[in-house]
Every structure is written in C-alpha cells, then in structure tokens.
A and B are shown apart, each in its own frame.
Chain A
Amino acid sequence: MNQKTIIPVGPFHPLQEEPEFFELEVEGEKVTDITVNIGYNHRSIEKIAESKTFDQMVFLVERICGICSTSHPIANCNAVEDLAGIEIPERAKYIRSIVGELERLHSHLLWAGLAGHFIGYNTLWMWVWKYREPILDLFEAVTGNRNHYAMMKPGGVRQDIEEGAIPALSKGLDEAERKIEMVTKAALDDPVLAARLKGVGILSKEEAIDYCAVGPTARASGVDIDVRKDEPYAAYGLVDWKIITQEEGDVFAKVVVRLLECFESIKIIRQCLQKLKTTKGDIAVQVKEIPPGEGIGHHEAPRGETFHYIRSDGSNMPVRLKVRAPTYVNLPTCKVTVPGESVADATIILAAIDPCYCCTERLVKVIDRERGRKWNWEDLLRLSRKKTERIKKRMGISHE
C-alpha cells in the first residue's frame, strides 16, 4: 500500500463531552475550585482476588496498572511473606530490586515525556520516549516481556538473571544513563522550563502531610519518606543509595526529584548486578501453605508507596485483599495545588502528581460560571502551551 508522510500527531488524548473526571471552576483566568470524579477504571480487583489463589493473585494485581506493573506484585508478595513469615533468598532480593528500579526508570521517563507534551515541548516528548525504548528492551531481555513481566511470586522471583546476560544489561544501563544525563541537563538548565514550572502548583510540607501524600509528590515538598529506606525490603538495605528530596513543593521540584531519582535507580541496579555475580543459590523458597492471619506489604513504586493488606483463613485463597495505590492519596492534593492558579497551569499541575494517565487525560470539564464558557482538556493543553510560548517570547528564545 502507498506510504505517505503525514504531519506529526495532534492531540493524543481526545476529549469527549462527558463524563467528566476533573471539574474545574474558573473565574476569568483563575481556577477557583476543582472536583475529581473517579471510578472509570474501577475493575473490582479486590473482589476478584477473593476467588484467586495466592499464586494467581500476583498475576491479577500486576494488571492493576501497566506503568507500575511490577510494583503491585512486589507489594503483594511482601504482604504474603509478612503474613507467613517468609524470608526470600538473597539472589531473589537483588533481582526484585533490579526489576523494581528498571520500572522506576521507564516510568519516570514516560512521565517526563508526557509533562513535556503538556507544556508544548514535543521534541522532549519524542526524545524521552525514544530513550525509554531501550529500557523496555532490557525488560524484554531479562523477563521476556516489555510490560507485565510476571517476575514475582510469594517466596521469591520466577526467573533468574543469567551471568551471561549481565554484560549486556550493564551496557544498556550505561547507555540509558548517558541519555538521562542529557535530558536532565537540558531540562534543569532550560530557563523557559524554570520560568514555566517554578512557583507553580506548590504543595506545602504541611499540606503533603495532611493529605498523606507519598512518593515524589511528597518528597518534592520536603517530606523524606521512602519505603525503600524506611522499611528496607528486597535489596534496598543491602546497597548504597540516597533519598532525593526538594523543599519548594512546586512542579519544578517534582521534575527534579524524578530526574535525580533515575540516577539513584541506576546506582542501585549496578550494585545489584555486581552482587548477583557472587551471590549463588535459589531464586525462591517453596511456599507450601499460607497460615491464617494477616499481612501488610508495601513497596516504593515510581509514584509512591503501594500498600497491600491481606487476610488469610488458612485456605489457598485470600479472604480479603486491600490495595492502595499511591495515586489514591496523591490525587486529592490537587484540591490545594490547583485552585488559585491560572487555568493554563492546570494540566501541568495535575500531571505533576503523575497520576495514572488514562484517568487523567481526556475527562475534564471547566466551568466559567460568570461568562458561561465551557472548556475541555484540549483547551487546557492549548492554554498551557500558549503560556510556554509567551514565556519564550519574553525571554527572546525561539527554539522548541
């Protein structure tokens, strides 16, 4: 069939009239209130888990979120292991951390691309997503799949990382580090980005604590919580790395936290790969039975703490699974970060929480009661990019 070059894509998240996910009330250019409506992705996972065995539950929870797809299995396995008092083998600890940190890398890069797209830096979007692809290739090499890796099970991991694979992994990691360094330098040195994102959508430390925010959303406001340090699991207590925090709590601070965290992730993965060379043994302990009781497991997903609570009655299926994803506590913070800001900043402030993107994108209704205007997500994106253009003009910069 005839090939044809088409102009690059337009909006990638088409908006429809209803139902609305974010409702913004505005007066002139200022947002006065925001309401969040969720439930579009409610897939009854906790209930379905009650009719799955403990082994099957891991595959179920993996599909809660595609971006943090190993986070839920890790938290879930931590919960089962907490319940049953299971200690996983050392080799499994390193492999869990490697997969968890690779996921953090791809997730933060994905987010950086989207954020760029929202403010009109489409080149950044394309670059960053291009650099994300080799990481997905690493996943495919290590686990067999680009996403939904099926690596975790109660007692350990399901697949090993062969010694022969480590050089290629290290090389891939070095390459990723170079690219991320480039992007980080470009982003942090860009005066337009600074003007666009600093002082925007500030979440104070007190507000972060009151809303019980987690992850980069909280760490960018000076709250230094990170499950990997606070309750070390897998290999996080066995290797050297540091928590990244910022104080300002604005969108720029959230960008900085995520980009700098990438380097800590690379540090962790490198050390784990080294340790794998000398740590022999099994990759899982055999788990015959889960005793009655309860267990709590959590994991620092890219967006923050993922929490699982499991109750068992001694049979091979859980009585109850409670899942709390990080976005659940981070999303309500928009109630304090968006009102008072300009409509042009609404999209980037919402994106800065790094919510599950499918929920965010198209479902926005903006009501201007005074003038009777109704805006949608596309309108907001357009306003956001226009603001970036104005800033560039003011600074006399014309590149993209």
Chain B
Amino acid sequence: MSSPDPIEAIKAEFEDRIVSWEEKSPKRYYITMPREDITKVADFIFAKQGARFIIASGVDTPEAIEILYHFAFDKLNKILTVKVPVPKERCEIESIAPIIDGANWIEREIAELLGVNFLNHPNPKRLLLAEDWPEGKYPLRQEPRRNR
C-alpha cells in the first residue's frame, strides 16, 4: 500500500502543487503547500503512505498564520513537515480531524490560541483556555517585536 520511497511518492503526487521543497537534512523535509490541498495531502501521507501524524504547530508570521503539520516515517528515520500558510483576513482551513483522529485536539488548540477556523471540525470547543477567556484574543499571536 505505501510505496518503498514515500517521500518520492509524495513529491510525485503533488508535483504541480508544491510551492517549495526543502531537504534540510536526510532526516528533515519541509514542504509548503496551498491550504486548499490539505485534506488530500493529509489523506495521502497518513492513510496511503502510512506516516504517523506527530502534531501540528501554528506560527504567527507577519504574512500569514503558518500551520506546520509534522509527519513521521519512523522506520525510515524521516520527519516531513507540511507548511500551509493561512491568510489572517479569511483565517480558515479545512479540518483534517475526520481523516486523522489524532489531529482533533491540536486543531482545537490552534483555533483558540491563534484564531484559525478549522472548517468541519467534529468538536470545535475550547480545549485549554478557560470559559471566561475573552473571545477574539489569541495569546500566541505576536505583538510587534522589540528591537532584535
């Protein structure tokens, strides 16, 4: 079911959609994809290539909210990170929780800490923040940085 070289298979499958491809080291791959493709990508990498979903990291940058989906090919000693920029104006992306149960909680966390709306999430409730935490205040969004 999964191919002997899943990294190459992923590259081939999404050739015309990949925005950038970086092999930082034989163990670390970072690829940038458009957000429209996330469910197809998650399904291919997780369900078809048998990767393990580790977690997703949300990062606030001046240009967009980046969501990094980290996948592990444990027996090949490789971690592939799929970076998806989500614009802040229409800050939403399709949920991958229906495909990967293990992604359920982290999407709830990114939603409340960074203000990303995960469309069609099965249980879009707050995870960490108290009920009386004000709406619209996203703690992991960056204030303008001091002189660095």
Contact = CB atoms under 8 A, between A and B. Distances in A.
B110 to A, nearest CB: 10
B32 interface: no
B57 A320 contact: yes
B81 A296 contact: yes
B100 A210 contact: yes
B128 A328 contact: no
Interface string B1-42: 000000000000000000000001101101000000000000
Given A307-B55, A324-B54, A324-B55, A42 B102 contact: no
B91 interface: no
Contact of B27 (A210, A231, A294, A305): A231
What size tier do the contact residues of chain B reach? 35 or more
B89 interface: no
Given A210-B102, A230-B75, A296 B70 contact: yes
Contacts of A231: 27, 74, 77
B45 to A, nearest CB: 13
Nearest to A218: B52
Interface residues of A, number: 33
B130 A320 contact: no
Contacts of A319: 59
B52 A320 contact: no
**Which of A38, A298, A309, A317 has the largest count of B CB atoms less than 10 A from its CB?**
A309
Interface in A308-333: 309, 311, 313, 315, 317, 319-320, 322, 324, 328-329, 332
Interface string B107-148: 000000000000000000011111000000001100000001
A311 B128 contact: no
B63 interface: no
A210 B148 CA distance: 42
